[in-house]
Amino acid sequence: MSLQISVFSGKGGTGKTSITAALIPLISRDFPVVIVDADVDASNLHLSIPYVQKEIHPFTGGEKGVINDASCQRCGLCVNACRFDAIRENISTTSPKMQRYMIDPFLCEGCAVCESVCPHQAIQMQAVQDGFWYESKSENKPFFHAHLFPGHENSGKLVSTIIAAAHQSIENDPNTIILVDGPPGIGCPVISTCNQTDIAILVAEPTLSGIHDVLRMLATTSHFHIPSFLILNKADLNQENAVALRNLSQAKDIIFLGEIAFDTLFTQAQLAAQPLTSYAPHSKSSQAIRKIWHNLKQYVSL
């Protein structure tokens, strides 16, 4: 059977994506790997690994209301019913007899109340495209990622779409690890990622907000009964908070996988579009990540 390992962080900038990228060459030496970038609101794993895009798919996540002018009797019921003030007069017409209503797609939330209250069936809900999702290859490893259009919603549904595609891609080779670069925070995309996660890796930095974020993430993964592991990144930036996070992992029974010091090599590797463990395999950070994978591998069974 396959195993989904998802890497989470409480906020952006903790090094979650760089660590995920660095784990890919190490895991692939021991297991077949499928890669997923589930941070669809700000996808950037493709900047840290070599890849070639193979297929592109449109993503339709929701619907918006559209008024049929020929059927509209201009009664105004929809205007009064819309709590989002998305329906307004078309300012391009000045004659009362030619008064028309229009639905602003940027304000419409797709609730369909306007469609239900219209006595003339002049409003229909129509599917709208919210982004794209991609099937790519990263050095012969399947790579699924996506792009959500700015201002569009249903990111949780888009996450579910690409993770489902990743699982479907290994139906004939089930002994595979699906490595997911998860979204930051604890919102809807994280919930969607947790849905099929078997192991959660929490990446934290030694700050007061980092400590708080670990507690929030742990509450989320615990709700889904997902075993959680902790990686301390930029561990040398604040010794006091680093000690607090190590103690927290013991108190909360989180398995501590290891720590990585602050290292500008991560930035250089990203500029070269390479995982750190490939770009600088003998660096101290690469050695630390190899130790992290060695510690994690003891809990991986396929």
- pLDDT tens digits, residue range 221-251? 999 999 999 999 999 999 999 999 999 998 9
Q: Is residue 126 part of a domain?
A: no
pLDDT (0 to 100) of residue 112: 93
Q: 302 in a domain, yes or no?
A: no
β-bridge pairing 255-260 and 87-89: unpaired
In a domain, 215, yes or no: yes
**Mind listing the pLDDT tens digit for each residue in 27-68?**
999 999 999 999 998 899 999 999 999 999 999 888 899 999
* 197 and 243 housed in the same domain: yes
Number of domains composing the chain: 2
In sequence order, what DSSP letters do the residues of the chain get, joined into one string?
A: --EEEEEEESSTTSSHHHHHHHHHHHHHTTS-EEEEE--TTS--GGGTS--EEEEEEEEEEEEEEEE-TTT-----HHHHH-TT--EEE-TT--SGGG--EEE-TTT-----HHHHH-TT--EEEEEEEEEEEEEEEETTEEEEEEEEPTT---HHHHHHHHHHHHHHTTTT--S-EEEEEEEESSSHHHHHHHTT-SEEEEEE-SSHHHHHHHHHHHHHHHHTT--EEEEEESTTS-HHHHHHHHHHHHHTT-EEEEEE---THHHHHHHTT--HHHHSTTSHHHHHHHHHHHHHHTT---
For residues 194 and 285, membership in a common domain is answered with yes
In a domain, 201, yes or no: yes
Q: Which domain holds residue 163?
A: 3-60+131-297
- 10 and 102 in a single domain? The answer is no
Final residue of a structural domain among 100, 121, 142: 121
pTM, 2 dp: 0.87
SS3 label, residue 107: coil
